[in-house]
Structure 1
Amino acid sequence: MVCGGFVCTKNALSALNVVYVMVGLLLIGVAAWGKWFGLVSSISVVAGVIGVGAFLLLVAFVGLCGALKHQQVLLFFYMVILFIVFVLQFSISCACLALNTDQQNKLLEVGWNKSEVTKKDVEKTLNCCGFSSVVYNSSCPAQCYTTPQTCDPCSSILQKYAGEVLRFVGSVGLFFSFTEILGVWLTHKYRNLKDPRSNPGAFL
């Protein structure tokens, strides 16, 4: 059978959703591992990553069920959801890759002032205190805080990695956005193929 047939399209769509299941489980596992070992103490960050992983698992489950059973309704909703996710992810990925240094600094400062828990995590992990300047009369969990005048502000350290992280996140997001548009195309094609297991005149 040629690769453009019913079976090949079904296998390709199923394999794509298996990859989504693995990525979803990986996200949930990494978040749980980071929380368990105390690498991340922010509940909102852990819950956000687990939420993304659970959503990806749900979408992959709908896609797998639709592909294996050739269910038109499930495939339609899967195609619509995947297209919406593609638009959002593609936009965010392009924004990450297009941010300049000043925009990165403003974004870092907004994130810094948003959560005290995240702020403490960053200070402890990067061994720094404060965002733009060190304030020694405040509480800081960094190890350098025990020795006066040895701490650096966190902004200078964060700025070193911000560009690399944004480029990495943008590139990974861009890659997965193209797998999503591939999934939309495969689903559309698969929905319009006649199931060879059905009656010759039937169309599911």
Structure 2
Amino acid sequence: MVCGGFTCSKNALCSLNVVYMLVGLLLVGVAAWGKGFGIVSSIHIIGGVIAVGVFLLLIAIVGLIGAIHHHQVMLFFYMVILFIVFLFQFGVSCSCLAMNENQQLKLLNSTWELMANSTRDLESKLDCCGLLKTPQAQYEKDWAACPAECKPKGSCSTCGTLMLQHASEALRILGGVGLFFSFTEILGVWLAMRYRNQKDPAANPSAFL
């Protein structure tokens, strides 16, 4: 059965917003997982991803309600805000993919000392000791105060190695998913504009939108 233009646009817009809700939840979940592993090297970018995910989730709910009720005002604000979310999501996703290991390492070195006592918690959580084995003096200082369970065995990995591994994985997922679905948001803006300008067959036949 072939649906009419109005019904097809409505169904497509509703389906697209359900996808946006799932993408928003995915971005927030992966970003929270990344922060949970103590990825201090990319904490600002990951914070930006969480913000984008939350905004995408909220605007998708607004778009879904607007599409169901064919609400002119909600659809207008949906189009404007979704385009803004697209710009931010595109920029954040590109930043995630562009951050290489050397940049992450520099940020790790600059923030490790600022973490103070929280480094001990991180070492216990990841079962590692010290940031990296260079510089040697800093590593020996971290090793002496390390509370990790692996310390008595003398086979601890460095926290920097584990953090870089998790950071790279999280940034790849966030960047790839965010970049791919950011382009679908342009489709969402176009569909909302098309649907908003169509006449609702359930409304007064003599009324034009």
Which range, TM-score by smaller chain? 0.7 to 0.9
Which runs of 5 or more residues in structure 2 are unaligned?
134-138
Task: Say which of 170, 175, 185 aligns to 1:165.
Answer: 170
* Aligned equivalent of 2:200: 195
Q: Which residue of 2 aligns with 1:8?
A: 8
> Conserved in 2, the CA contact under 8 Å of 1:41 and 1:117?
no
Tell me which residue corresponds to 2:179: 174
Instruction: Provide the rounded CA distance (Å) in 2 between the counterparts of 1:93 and 1:40.
Output: 20
Corresponding position of 1:17: 17
Using a 3 Å threshold, how does the CA distance of structure 1 residues 77 and 102 change in structure 2: closer, same or farther?
same
Q: Work out whether 1:142 is the aligned partner of 2:148.
A: yes
**Could you say if the C-alpha distance between residues 154 and 171 of structure 1 is closer, same or farther in structure 2, counting changes exceeding 3 Å?**
same
Report the TM-score when normalising by structure 1: 0.74
CA contact (8 A) 2:130 2:143 kept: no
Gaps of 5+ in 1: none
> Quick one: structure 1 residues 170 and 57, their matched pair in 2 at CA, closer, same or farther if it must change by over 3 Å?
closer
Q: TM-score, normalised by structure 2?
A: 0.72
Q: Distance in 2 between matches of 1:179 and 1:111?
A: 36
What amino acid is aligned across from residue 190 of structure 2 in structure 1? W
Q: Where do residues 1-204 of structure 1 align in structure 2 (5 Å cutoff)?
A: 5-24=5-24, 40=36, 55-109=55-109, 112=112, 119=119, 122-133=122-133, 134=139, 135-138=142-145, 140-145=146-151, 147=152, 149-204=154-209
Higher relative contact order (CA 8 A, sep 6+): 2
Distance verdict in 2 for CA 1:26–1:157, change over 3 Å: closer
CA distance in 2, matches of 1:101, 1:123: 21
Contact 1:13-1:186 at 8 Å conserved across structures: yes
Aligned pair in 2 of structure 1 residues 30, 172: CA closer, same or farther (>3 Å)?
closer
- Asked whether the 8 Å contact 1:72–1:191 carries over to 2, the reply is yes
Q: 1:117 to 1:168 in 2, by over 3 A?
A: farther
SS of 2:144 mapped into structure 1: coil
CA contact (8 A) 1:24 1:56 kept: yes
Letter of the 2:174 partner, please give it.
Answer: V
Return the letter of the residue paired with 1:126: L
Letter of the structure 2 residue corresponding to residue 144 of structure 1: C
Deviations 1:24-82 (A, max 9, x none): 566778899x8xxxx9499xx9xx79876654442222111110111111011111111
Q: What displacement does 1:187 show? A: 0.9
Distance 1:99 1:29 in 2: 20
After TM superposition, give the deviation of residue 105 of structure 1 in Å. 1.6
Q: Which amino acid aligns with 2:143?
A: Y
Alpha-carbon shift at residue 109 of structure 1 (Å): 4.0
Residue 111 of structure 1 and its aligned partner are, at CA, apart by 5.8
* Partner deviation per Cα, 1:113-169 (whole Å, 9 max, x = no partner): 56568745643343212223431332x442213x17432321123334433332222
- Does the residue aligned with 2:143 lie in a helix, a strand or coil? coil
Q: How many residues align?
A: 193
